[in-house]
Amino acid sequence: MPIYYRLGQLPPKRHTIFRSPQGAFYYEQLFGTIGFDGMSSLLYHLHRPTQVKAVLDSVDLRPTAGVDHNIMSRKLIGFDVPPANDYLESRTPLLFNNDVVLGVAAPRASLTDYFYKNADADELLFVHRGAGTLRTMLGTIAFVPGDYLLIPRGMIYQINFDVTDVPEGTRLLYLESTSPIYTPKRYRNHFGQQLEHSPYSERDYKLPQNLETHDERGDFVMKIKKEGILHTLVYDTHPFDVVGWDGYNFPYGFSIHNFEPITGRIHQPPPVHQTFETKSCVVCSFVPRLYDYHPEAIPAPYNHSNIDSDEVLYYVDGDFMSRNGISPGILTLHPGGIPHGPHPGAMERSIGKTKTDELAVMVDTFRPLKLTNQALGIDDGVYFQSWRE
């Protein structure tokens, strides 16, 4: 990000004795990344965070390719992915490579029966439909439609959905990244603060609140994803037993509606929409904005070649001016190696328009994406021909 944050009780000095009012020790844990070189937080637990009682079954969650070497533009009907009761079972991988997994989810129920930890990847959840609360060992974050939820690797969490408030069902887009997800470097100074020309600031973050501290013993089921395998473990104490923490490594939220678009006299390139970055991909937010204001401007994007990246667009809401036949919940894949651009008629329709109301999320990966069989099952099969006159 980075931003310093603290919540709960802390000793005046790190790595020193810290006791409860009753005299019991609190147990310190460094929650860090990239060895001891990345962002980290210091956590203080009621109980040792190491008390594994049992290691049970394991399930292979590694996605498999239905199409390994793809050159075809695709349109995936995301809302055709059926709902599932279990949160993890509802997550349907559609596109992946060695760096990322991109998919959609339609959970019917909250994740409350067990705790989850992704030890492989940072997770970025985009809430398309639904609301609720992300519960983590570092506090809670309330979310609503349009929120990104960034969950660092190794974070223990549960998630509550207000399913009764969403008759059409909860819908999520999710990204798993094996490299850390950060805010774009060009929008930060050398201290890490967001610069004045950044399209958002630290004030826009949804930071953890309401630290839950449970002093409980029992059988607490933890599902941990490691090397693509989901392992089930049983812990002796409640995972949410943190009395306080501080540092830079923690979950946070950010609303796509707080992204301030960058506009110009002529059409601006996609990087102005960038919201997050990793070593292997970027995430962009397309939000309602004024169109280009040069008197001869063409607001529709120009044709461009994806030579070095695969482009995925997830359509959320509004008027998708550069595409025909698009509606919410659809994903389009434009693979590297072939050019793409506005559909026939879109460029002409855009001339003279003053604004757009589109809302979409874009993920560009720096290595080619494979399609899962689940993706092939919701592919319309003809999108690649949609640019023909």
Q: What is the pLDDT of residues 155-165, one digit of tens each?
A: 999 999 996 55
DSSP 348: H
More confident residue, 114 or 323: 114
**CB 9, CB 244: distance < 8 Å:** yes
- Produce one character per residue of 349-363: b if its CB has 16 or more CB atoms within 10 Å, e if not: ebeeeeebebbbbbb
pLDDT mean over 71-77: 96
Per-residue model confidence (pLDDT) at position 1: 64
Is residue 235 predicted with pLDDT exceeding 70?
Answer: yes
**Percentage of the chain lying above the pLDDT 90 cut:** 84
R_g of the chain computed on alpha carbons: 22
Residue 380's SS3 state is coil
Q: Measure the CA dihedral 87/93/94/98, to 10°.
A: 150
Identify the residue whose tokens are 């939820």. 149
DSSP 305: E
More confident residue, 245 or 167: 245
Give residue-wise pLDDT tens across range 2-22: 799 999 999 999 999 999 999
Which of 49-53, 162-166, 210-214 is least confident? 162-166
Confidence of residue 37 (pLDDT cuts 50, 70, 90): confident
Residue 268's SS3 state is coil
CB atoms within 10 A of CB 61: 15
CA distances (Å), origin 9, targets 20, 44, 100, 107, 363: 10, 8, 36, 35, 39
Predicted model pTM: 0.96
pLDDT mean over 55-70: 96
CB atoms within 10 A of CB 118: 20
Q: Provide the strand spans (E) within 83-183.
A: 91-96, 100-105, 111-118, 122-129, 132-136, 139-143, 147-151, 156-161, 171-177
**CB 272, CB 28: distance < 8 Å:** no
Distance (Å, whole) CA 83 – CA 107 = 6
**CB 44, CB 240: distance < 8 Å:** no
Per-residue tokens: 97: 């490579």
pLDDT mean over 241-264: 96
Confidence of residue 306 (pLDDT cuts 50, 70, 90): confident
- Produce one character per residue of 72-107: b if its CB has 16 or more CB atoms within 10 Å, e if not: ebbbbebbebeebeebbebbbbbbbbebbbbbbbbb
**Percentage of the chain lying above the pLDDT 70 cut:** 98
Give residue-wise pLDDT tens across range 83-114: 999 999 999 999 999 999 999 999 999 999 99
Per-residue model confidence (pLDDT) at position 151: 98
DSSP 303: P
Beta strand 27-32 with 40-45 is: antiparallel
Contacts of 257 (CB under 8 A, 6+ apart): 146, 287
